[in-house]
Structure 1
């Protein structure tokens, strides 16, 4: 991986920061980089445009129990050097002259920001953006967005969690456009249903895999379907893969820590979640973790499915 100096760290919100890189490379709007840190590696989208920004910029939002995102936000300063791989990803428009419908949830605005900047600088396409967040404090890039295009902001604190029917009413005027969707899995699922209801046929969803982090060799005691199993758990491997490889049938869906389908209750031991965009503090208080994102941090971990 090449190593690049951090030219600037920008505090975007209380929970998100951007790293401006002292680097030059070719990339497409909407792509991402993989960042390697002492606590693991993670993929972060480029919020910059190759046509408007002198330096590339990735944006990192803190995640509960997210080792990499929290390490970056707590420790990285201008002048530091980190390893990066990329750019990669296909979440890029085929033409900057096409009219696009853009839907973002939370930090999902990051690659869409790069697309917006690129279209405004080099294209003739018309853009419609729906951007959902929990509250006004969570909105990333609001000043820049408002200067670039009209934005429909959806704040859960004011309107409740978005539903497919409610979103469909906002999307129907743009049924003939290609849609780009990025955000937590719960938002993506609702957005995809809303797009279907609104008659939008062309839909692109941003997804990327994260690299494994470290961890500890362990034994997992797993109770599932009324039976208890002792399973060897290699360092860095995700708990969900351990259980599946043992021939068991655990619930799961997105594998990215965004939907909660793989949630399981931990009753003993310690784990680290590589990514989490769904569990809240009350879930952790009750012992729930995401099997698809959990790596062992103690020699023995006990979990149970009800």
Structure 2
């Protein structure tokens, strides 16, 4: 039985081209050959979840889209080799034209909401991947000024070096690119980054890279006066479950339940929601075609808007303060905490 038999949301994609970006990073352009719909829509800053067919068994990994959705370029992911990383090493060593992957629909909430504000796009290493998708979109479709601050070990490890240079030459009035090379400037500590990461107070900063770097960058930006709600980070964690399987959800027996109204695909459903069952499992058990990807609170693929009531999120690795303040929650992690709830997907 194939993965597409288990989960109807799965796409099958074929690698059309492999681009060697650096000695340890490749970009794969993808063609959809099978899936739930002919379209493969995504937003700048989102990622794909791949099933990587490693020699010792398939692994589920998330890789950001480096292409921009407005572009005629096929959807493209960029993968950097990670020391002892089984999936990234398999891709870098084996992916070729014609290689097939199972992928889940594009997901992630690392997507700008206000395209009029000045952007400070901060990346380290392979964190440039979603950043360049946002950058390409902003330059092509919007008018806001943009600064890219990109940190790497050395000049040879700079992914998209030629692309960034070409964009800077094409948009000298809007785009400023600064680079931090550890080989020349040492480690990018918070204290050191304070003089490097400066931006007008109305700017929105988007950060992607290793967790210690993002923590240092966030601290430097706050110390420089940028408001915390204007700082957005992208965090990836390795999935511990098979996101491609679609097992029958187990609904716990509970004497205590809530009542919820759920708006999904322009239809309204009334459900009984046990206090010890997450919303996603309850909806899947009713046969509803609710969106989801990882089931671990890391991707945002099952996000919905809570319009009434209160829920507890068991885990949250993707929603920021702005999302939470406007009622966005994750179905795979939501437990009801009030008797009556009202919520909607795709709001």
TM-score class normalised by the smaller sequence: 0.5 to 0.7
TM-score by length of 1: 0.67
Asked whether the 8 Å contact 2:24–2:80 carries over to 1, the reply is yes
Distance 2:215 2:134 in 1: 22
Distance 2:118 2:237 in 1: 29
Asked whether the 8 Å contact 1:17–1:61 carries over to 2, the reply is yes
1:110-259 equivalences under 5 Å are 110-149=129-168, 150-201=176-227, 202-212=230-240
Runs of 4+ in 1 over 4 A off after TM superposition: none
Of the candidates 9, 17, 30, which is equivalent to residue 8 of structure 1?
A: 17
Partner residue in 2 for 1:293: none
Asked whether the 8 Å contact 1:175–1:198 carries over to 2, the reply is no
Distance 1:97 1:175 in 2: 14
Distance 1:145 1:104 in 2: 13
Distance 1:108 1:38 in 2: 24
Distance 1:99 1:192 in 2: 17
Of the candidates 100, 111, 118, which is equivalent to residue 92 of structure 1?
A: 111
Distance 1:173 1:56 in 2: 31
Shift of 1:172: 2.8
Partner residue in 2 for 1:26: 41
Secondary structure of 1:154's counterpart equals strand
Aligned residues: 216
Matched, 1:66 2:85: yes
Asked whether the 8 Å contact 1:35–1:85 carries over to 2, the reply is yes
Asked whether the 8 Å contact 1:30–1:46 carries over to 2, the reply is yes
Of the candidates 30, 37, 53, which is equivalent to residue 38 of structure 1?
A: 53
Shift of 1:160: 0.3
Asked whether the 8 Å contact 1:132–1:154 carries over to 2, the reply is yes
Deviations 1:205-257 (A, max 9, x none): 0013432379xxxxxxxxxxxxxxxxxxxxxxxxxxxxxxxxxxxxxxx99xx
Distance 2:130 2:198 in 1: 23
Shift of 1:130: 0.6
What's the RMSD between the two structures over aligned residues? 1.8
Asked whether the 8 Å contact 2:120–2:199 carries over to 1, the reply is no
When residues 45 and 123 of structure 1 are mapped into structure 2, their CA distance, relative to the original with a 3 A threshold, is: same
Deviations 1:156-208 (A, max 9, x none): 00000112222212223433301100000111111011111111111000013
* Structure 2: tracts of 5 or more residues without a match: 1-9, 33-38, 169-175, 243-315, 318-347
When residues 72 and 204 of structure 1 are mapped into structure 2, their CA distance, relative to the original with a 3 A threshold, is: same
Partner residue in 2 for 1:263: none
TM-score by length of 2: 0.60
Secondary structure of 1:172's counterpart equals coil
Q: Which shows bigger deviation, 114-123 or 93-102?
A: 93-102
Partner residue in 2 for 1:75: 94
Distance 1:183 1:27 in 2: 21
Higher relative contact order (CA 8 A, sep 6+): 1
Distance 1:170 1:74 in 2: 36
